[in-house]
């Protein structure tokens, strides 16, 4: 193989990868919130999830993109693990559209007659509309054009390979050959991080005679297995449910590949029959596209009746510690019948939540940028506990209660909301930490350091300081730090964007401490009132929750 031929193969492959990336990013951005809306609203049943996954993958032209998006939504709590399973199944069917594009369009038309205009029109749109959905749609159009140009380049390169190489000397027959090409398909997809590009490349190679039909089929099956690597990478550091979604894709794709390999001769008989019934030409490209669709549809049909069992199995995997932390320790239905015990349990539960929030705040105002995953995980736990506390209080308020108990519940509901707001502010403030690391002005650094120390002092429950005085000191420190930052900005020592970012951080941290203080005031008030009335509240150990005995009553 000479240098020009190698260059054509590498260039065609490069166009494929570039085109797939541009199509994926462009269409996803052009859709805006539509992708999220469709995934959330169209996954109420496994069958609707399959349809949603199929449509989104057919549009985006990347099962990996849809799978990673689904993992992200599960990670954010927008989709449940069971809802995401249908999307995973459907995305595997949707990715077969790439093969059909190659088989029905890639070799039938004068590619340059329509692909080059697509690139030109797309770039014109991108130049006219530099931002927004139209700009993203323009880039997607460029991606479509480059996709077909890549097909044409590879087609020519593989035709040259047929002339330059003796194919009979490099083909491996039998089971060993099938397994070899299966592994090749897996490796290609992992390296390119795109099953669509890998499958299009395989179909192109088969259509030009570089590899045989059965070898190409094995590579297509391997591409289905290799695409699970993207989801596996995306699940690193994610929540337990997100990891389960990634594992579901691995199990589904590996299971489907196993069935396809075992039934390979039978599937080709069915393919030939379908080609005759549908009046399709018996060309390698069409045969492989039909084979790819057939075994993916078969896999979905086989797994859907077992979907409930698979989901139950997945729920037993990962996240034992994380999910245990999400379960309330003191709230259950038995104590809900006794209002006094219910209020007591709520106080204890909220003290535990308060300690989690305090630890989250300490992580968020620290300088360790590697705490991002831990902070997001902790916020998710606090969000879940907050939801459980709110639901418990709302359920209690449906029963006949004394005026005093109703007052206590209203105060505790405020505590819950303040703590959740504090956790959100802490997580939001942490997002700016990379910008703070870029600030090298010494006076600004000193002001920020002092500001963090004051926050630690306020929220350090063992410090014994007066919270009202500490909060006043925090406000004074915030104002002083703000003055230093503004001075650094006006004197040109701190770039304007960095100045805004730093001001946003200290503003978030101020609101965070204010929410914390409000929560502690109301919690202390309810605890004091229950003690005064003879309702003993068990005190948590210092490791479980903070103790704020000296807080003044709430306004």
pLDDT tens by residue, the chain, 555 residues: 567 777 877 887 777 677 766 766 676 666 555 555 665 677 778 888 888 888 878 776 667 667 777 776 676 555 778 888 888 898 888 888 877 777 766 555 555 666 788 888 988 988 888 777 788 888 878 887 887 777 677 666 665 655 554 444 545 567 887 888 888 888 877 766 667 777 777 887 787 777 888 888 888 899 889 888 877 876 776 667 778 888 998 999 999 999 988 988 898 889 888 888 887 777 778 888 888 889 889 999 999 998 888 988 887 787 665 556 777 877 866 667 677 778 888 898 898 899 889 888 888 887 676 677 788 888 888 988 988 899 888 888 777 778 888 888 999 999 999 999 999 888 887 877 666 777 888 888 888 888 888 887 777 643 345 556 666 777 888 898 899 999 998 988 888 888 888 888 888 888 888 888 888 888 888 888 877 655 444 444 333 443 333 333 343
Q: Which pLDDT belongs to residue 457?
A: 73
- Helix residue ranges per DSSP H, 32-132: 34-41, 46-60, 63-75, 81-94, 97-101, 111-128
Q: Which pLDDT belongs to residue 77?
A: 56
Separation CA 36–CA 30 (nearest Å): 12
CB half-sphere exposure, 224, CA atoms < 13 A? 33
Query: 3-class SS at 144?
Result: helix
Separation CA 298–CA 542 (nearest Å): 57
Q: Tokens 């369009």 label which residue?
A: 105
Separation CA 534–CA 528 (nearest Å): 10
Q: What is the DSSP string of 27-48?
A: HHHHHTTHHHHHHHHT-SSHHH
**Tokens matching residue 541:** 């150990």
Q: Which pLDDT belongs to residue 416?
A: 92
Q: Which pLDDT belongs to residue 324?
A: 65
Dihedral Cα 314, 316, 318, 322, nearest 10 deg? 130
Q: Dihedrals φ, ψ of 537, to 5°?
A: -105, 120
- Helix residue ranges per DSSP H, 316-441: 320-326, 333-336, 339-364, 372-396, 403-430, 433-437
Element (H or E) spanning 10, and its range? helix 3-31
Q: In this structure, are residues 471 and 543 in contact, taking their beta carbons and an 8 Å threshold?
A: no
- Helix residue ranges per DSSP H, 431-549: 433-437, 442-459, 467-490, 496-532
Q: Which pLDDT belongs to residue 160?
A: 62
Rounded (10°) angle between helices 195-207 and 63-75: 170
Separation CA 425–CA 403 (nearest Å): 33
Q: In this structure, are residues 99 and 271 in contact, taking their beta carbons and an 8 Å threshold?
A: no
Q: Which pLDDT belongs to residue 419?
A: 93
CATH topology (fold) of 323-532 = Methane Monooxygenase Hydroxylase; Chain G, domain 1 (1.20.58)
- Cα three-residue angle 433-436-442, rounded to 5 degrees: 150
Q: Which pLDDT belongs to residue 255?
A: 92
**Tokens matching residue 164:** 């330059």
**Tokens matching residue 247:** 């594992």
Q: Which pLDDT belongs to residue 483?
A: 92
Separation CA 436–CA 457 (nearest Å): 21
Closest CA to 281 of 158, 103, 96, 156: 103
Q: Give the residue extent of every domain in the chain.
A: 3-315, 323-532
- Please state the pTM of the whole predicted model: 0.53
Q: Which pLDDT belongs to residue 13?
A: 72
């Amino acid at each position: 193989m000479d240098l020009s031929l190698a260059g054509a193969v590498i260039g065609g492959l490069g166009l494929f990868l570039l085109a797939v990336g541009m199509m994926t990013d462009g269409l996803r951005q052009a859709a805006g919130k539509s992708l999220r809306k469709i995934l959330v609203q169209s996954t109420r049943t496994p069958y609707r999830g399959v349809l949603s996954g199929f449509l989104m993958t057919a549009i985006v032209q990347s099962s990996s993109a849809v799978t990673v998006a689904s993992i992200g939504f599960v990670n954010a709590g927008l989709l449940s693990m069971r809802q995401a399973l249908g999307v995973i199944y459907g995305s595997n069917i949707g990715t077969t559209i790439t093969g059909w594009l190659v088989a029905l369009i890639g070799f039938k038309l004068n590619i340059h007659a329509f692909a080059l205009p697509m690139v030109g029109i797309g770039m014109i749109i991108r130049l006219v509309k530099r931002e927004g959905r139209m700009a993203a749609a323009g880039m997607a159009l460029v991606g479509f054009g480059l996709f077909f140009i890549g097909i044409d380049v590879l087609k020519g390169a593989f035709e040259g390979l047929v002339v330059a190489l003796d194919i009979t000397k490099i083909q491996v027959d039998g089971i060993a050959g099938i397994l070899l090409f299966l592994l090749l398909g897996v490796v290609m997809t992992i390296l390119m991080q795109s099953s669509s590009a890998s499958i299009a490349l395989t179909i192109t190679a088969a259509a030009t005679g570089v590899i045989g039909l059965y070898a190409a089929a094995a590579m297509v099956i391997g591409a289905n297995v290799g695409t699970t690597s993207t989801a596996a990478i995306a699940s690193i550091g994610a929540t337990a449910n997100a990891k389960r979604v990634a594992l579901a894709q691995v199990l589904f794709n590996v299971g489907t590949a196993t069935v396809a390999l075992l039934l390979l001769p039978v599937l080709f008989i069915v393919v030939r029959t379908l080609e005759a019934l549908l009046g399709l030409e018996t060309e390698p490209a069409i045969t492989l596209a039909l084979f790819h669709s057939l075994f993916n549809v078969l896999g979905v049909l086989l797994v859907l009746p077992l979907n409930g069992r698979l989901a139950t199995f997945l729920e037993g995997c990962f996240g034992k510690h994380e999910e245990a932390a999400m379960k309330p320790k003191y709230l259950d239905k038995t104590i809900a019948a006794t209002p006094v015990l219910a209020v007591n349990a709520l106080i204890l539960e909220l003290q535990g939540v308060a300690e989690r929030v305090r630890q989250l705040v300490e992580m968020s105002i620290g300088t360790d940028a590697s705490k991002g995953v831990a902070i997001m995980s902790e916020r998710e736990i606090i969000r879940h506990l907050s939801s459980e506390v709110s639901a418990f209080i709302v359920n209690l308020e449906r029963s006949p209660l004394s005026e005093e108990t109703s007052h206590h519940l209203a105060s505790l509901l405020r505590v819950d909301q303040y703590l959740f707001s504090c956790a959100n502010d802490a997580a939001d403030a942490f997002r700016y930490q990379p910008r703070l690391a870029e600030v090298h002005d010494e006076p600004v650094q000193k002001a920020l350091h002092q500001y963090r120390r004051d926050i630690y002092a306020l929220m350090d429950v063992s410090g014994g300081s007066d919270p009202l005085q500490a909060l006043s000191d925090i406000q004074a420190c915030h104002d002083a730090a703000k003055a230093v930052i503004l001075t650094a900005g006006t004197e040109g020592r701190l770039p304007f964007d960095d100045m805004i970012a730093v001001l946003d951080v200290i503003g978030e941290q101020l609101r965070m401490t204010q929410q914390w203080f409000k929560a502690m005031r109301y919690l202390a008030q309810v605890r004091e009132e229950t003690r005064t009335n003879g309702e003993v509240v068990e005190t948590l150990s210092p490791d479980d929750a903070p103790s704020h005995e000296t807080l003044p009553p709430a306004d």
